[in-house]
Amino acid sequence: MNSIFVPTFKKGSSSLSFRLLHNFRTMGTITAKAIVYPGYGEPEDVLETHSYEIPSPEALKNDEVLVKTLACPLNPSDINQIQGVYPSRPPISQTSLPGLTKPVAVCGNEGVFRVLGTGPGVTSLKPGDWCIPSKVNYGTWRSHAISAEAEFLRIPNDIPLKQAATMAVNTSSAYLMLTQFEKLQKGDWFIQNGGNSQVGRCAIQIAKSLGINSISIVRDRPELQKLIDELTALGATHVITEKQNTSKEFGKTIKGWTAGRPIKLGLNCVGGPNVAGMSRKLGKNAKLVTYGGMSMKPVMLPTSLFIFKNLTAVGFWITEMTKKDPELREKVINKVLELIKENALADINCTLNKVEPEKLTDLEFTDAFKQALCDSKSNGKQLITFE
């Protein structure tokens, strides 16, 4: 019997540890489900469910940790991994899950787990703790997992679930892009497109907490003012449309806002003519950081900006940055946790899709993810939750 379930039980409380112990005693083993793909392609064609038995916590080896997934987001890069067009991908292998009859990869790069049990040698995690994958490409679209302790990073278990599930990619990216490329001071300005993306929303809020002003470009829509009000409430200094972004006339309005202060940093996740218009608003010696290509168009930049304004255009990829400097991943996670604690980050704007694996067939489990992926195309960020 693994003793870790018992010590945290307090008499008279409905302690989580007690409930976990009880659940395991009554359930025996758990049937876990994972969304996998045996080859690259469009998600609707290649995704399938692999079901497998998770042993009871008593059977965990020395450094093993058994976790239950609480929530995992469906990010654009997850889709690119499934399509086989994202440079960093989990291997399609036969060994990543028990009971496989063919090589597969498990989908999902980020998410938050709750610890259900630990092997006797585990020191950094105990049942009831929350954790996130310590490295990229963990394969988070699954109900349960067992991995070595080093595969997980403990986080507080009293922060909003949506924040916890998305902090490792989007929030961390926004923080890194605002702090690693330009030494922005209080009162400085940055401009970004994709202002309504999760990264964009995080950048608005992080900038505000650092005293940095923002101009966010968003796509026009029927209820534009509602979105502008929402982003302004998050701390956006100004929100403009793509049409205003490409208008020469509107450039003067922006100069008025910044009172002649140069805009030092541009964050681009769209490309095409949008990024050309945005870059024209940058000051001399500014940096343009490209981190996404949502319009599927190339990054178009006027030649004059390089010659007369000494523009520097660079790329950002959190995977590479944190791979090169693993300590940075932990540092930025801690920074993001501080911001969450200070209430500097509003809860994430996304839809929760509750999935109960034990009540679903494999086909239904796969369909739940496919439906959420489909919704993410037109209804914003989707998260799968498992309770």
Ligand X SMILES: NC(=O)c1ccc[n+]([C@@H]2O[C@H](COP(=O)([O-])OP(=O)(O)OC[C@H]3O[C@@H](n4cnc5c(N)ncnc54)[C@H](OP(=O)(O)O)[C@@H]3O)[C@@H](O)[C@H]2O)c1
- List the catalytic residues: 86
Indicate which single residue of 4, 132, 169, 184 sits in contact with ligand X (rule: CB under 6 A): 169
| CA neighbours closer than 13 Å in the CB half-sphere of residue 143 | 23
Closest approach of Cβ 264 to ligand X, in Å? Answer: 20
Give the containing element (helix H, strand E) for 154. strand 152-155
CA 311 to chain centre: 29
Closest approach of Cβ 317 to ligand X, in Å? Answer: 4
Residue 294, interface with ligand X (CB under 6 A)?
yes
Q: Rank residues 196 and 205 by Cβ distance to ligand X and give the closer one.
A: 196
Stretch that binds ligand X, among 250-258, 286-294, 353-361, 366-374 (CB under 6 A): 286-294
Residue holding tokens 């693993």? Answer: 326
Stretch that binds ligand X, among 40-48, 113-121, 304-312, 315-323 (CB under 6 A): 315-323
Give φ, ψ of 174 to 5 degrees.
-60, -45
Residue 258, interface with ligand X (CB under 6 A)?
no
Indicate which single residue of 35, 132, 270, 345 sits in contact with ligand X (rule: CB under 6 A): 270
Residue numbers 76-115 binding ligand X by CB under 6 A: 76-77
Residue holding tokens 């202060």? Answer: 261
Distance CA 115, CA 60 (A): 12
Closest approach of Cβ 163 to ligand X, in Å? Answer: 14
Residue 173, interface with ligand X (CB under 6 A)?
yes
Cβ atoms of residues 168 and 340 within 8 Å: no
Q: Rank residues 122 and 217 by Cβ distance to ligand X and give the closer one.
A: 217
Distance CA 150, CA 137 (A): 14
Cβ atoms of residues 275 and 301 within 8 Å: yes
Give φ, ψ of 19 to 5 degrees.
-65, -40
Residue 322, interface with ligand X (CB under 6 A)?
no
Q: Return the closest-CA partner of residue 387 out of 367, 364, 358, 363.
A: 358
Indicate which single residue of 175, 189, 316, 386 sits in contact with ligand X (rule: CB under 6 A): 316
Closest approach of Cβ 149 to ligand X, in Å? Answer: 26
Q: What is residue 348's DSSP assignment?
A: P
Residue 269, interface with ligand X (CB under 6 A)?
yes
Residue 170, interface with ligand X (CB under 6 A)?
yes
Cβ atoms of residues 15 and 70 within 8 Å: no
Stretch that binds ligand X, among 60-68, 72-80, 153-161, 279-287 (CB under 6 A): 72-80
Q: Compute the 3-state secondary structure of the chain and give helix, strand, coil in percent, each to the nearest 5.
A: 40, 20, 40
Q: Token digits for 222?
A: 């029927």
Q: What is residue 181's DSSP assignment?
A: S
Which position's Cβ is nearest ligand X? 292
Closest approach of Cβ 252 to ligand X, in Å? Answer: 24
Indicate which single residue of 17, 163, 196, 366 sits in contact with ligand X (rule: CB under 6 A): 196
Residue 268, interface with ligand X (CB under 6 A)?
no
Neighbour order of strands in the sheet with 238-241: 238-241, 213-218, 189-192, 263-268, 287-290, 312-315
Print the binding letters for residues 201-240 with ligand X: x by CB under 6 A, - otherwise.
Answer: ------------------x---------------------
**What residues line the site for ligand X (CB under 6 A)?**
75-77, 169-170, 173, 194, 196-199, 219, 269-270, 291-292, 294-295, 316-318, 381
